[in-house]
Amino acid sequence: MNEEKKKYYLVCNSHLDPVWMWDWDEGASSALATFYQAAVLLDESDFVFCHNESLLYEYIEEYDPALFAKIQEQVKEGKWKIMGGWYLQPDCNLPSGESFVRQIRTGRKYFAEKFGARPTVAVNFDSFGHSVGLVQILKKTGYDGYLCCRPMSWDKDMVSLPDTEFIWRGKDCSEIKVSRSDDLTLYCSGFGTAKNDLERKAKLYKE
């Protein structure tokens, strides 16, 4: 009996912290280099690149208009996807509700004007926690999903969290689907280990 073949999807994304342990100009330079390389790869290869954080796109628009125009074309072609839709990936433990709303509003306005995009899955890869009040805000601003990494399974505060895929319920009973990446590789595979990592993860996520 033949085993059923399954299709797996690899989502290409580069996580950048534009002002974490960097001056702002270093963050801008990193965004320019990353976006340039992604745009070149999209022309040479058959894959889709995803990125969020409107602040980084603003850097590209100001300092490399030709690259920005190129990205706009790749978005139209479906090669480059606008994800998340926020101004910046924030810390999600301490900010007020208004701060979250402004993050969403500012990012969404920019992405709508420049790319005609309105993502419905919020992204916070690197926040070390996530306020329960965020669920209601996400739901009421039109999001139906949330993609995050931390906290990880080896963190002691993880005891009460469910699996990597779950429904998160807020204080007002709002609900949102969550996908939490939980793996030792976290952001990426080491050089030469990608194939082994893919095979290992395929076994972990059978369904």
Distance CA 122, CA 113 (A): 19
pLDDT number for residue 108: 96
How many CB atoms are closer than 10 A to CB 60?
Answer: 22
Partners of 130 in the beta sheet? 92
CA angle 134, 17, 98 (to 5 degrees): 30
In the prediction, which pLDDT does 68 show? Answer: 98
| Contacts for 30 with CB less than 8 Å, ≥ 6 apart | 16, 18, 22
Look at residue 84 in the predicted model and tell me its pLDDT. Answer: 94
Bridge partner residues of 174 (DSSP):
none
Q: How many Å apart are CA 163 and CA 2, to the nearest integer?
A: 30
pLDDT of residue 51: 94
Q: For each successive 10 residues of the chain (207 residues), what is the average pLDDT?
A: 71 81 89 96 91 95 98 96 93 88 96 97 88 93 92 68 84 92 75 87 75
Three-state DSSP string of 104-168? HHHHHHHHHHHHCCCCCEEEECCCCCECCHHHHHHHHCCCCEEEECCCCCCCHHHHHCCCCEEEE
Gyration radius of the chain's alpha carbons: 18
What's the confidence (pLDDT) of residue 185? 74
pLDDT score, position 188: 74
Q: Provide the pLDDT for residue 77.
A: 96
The candidate with the shortest Cα–Cα distance to 56, out of 44, 68, 69, is: 68
The predicted pLDDT at position 3 comes to 66
The pair of structure tokens assigned to 113 is: 């004007």
Element (H, E) at 72: helix 65-77
The reported pLDDT for the residue numbered 47 is 86
pLDDT in tens, 171-184: 999 999 998 887 77
Which 3 state secondary structure label does DSSP give 81? Answer: strand
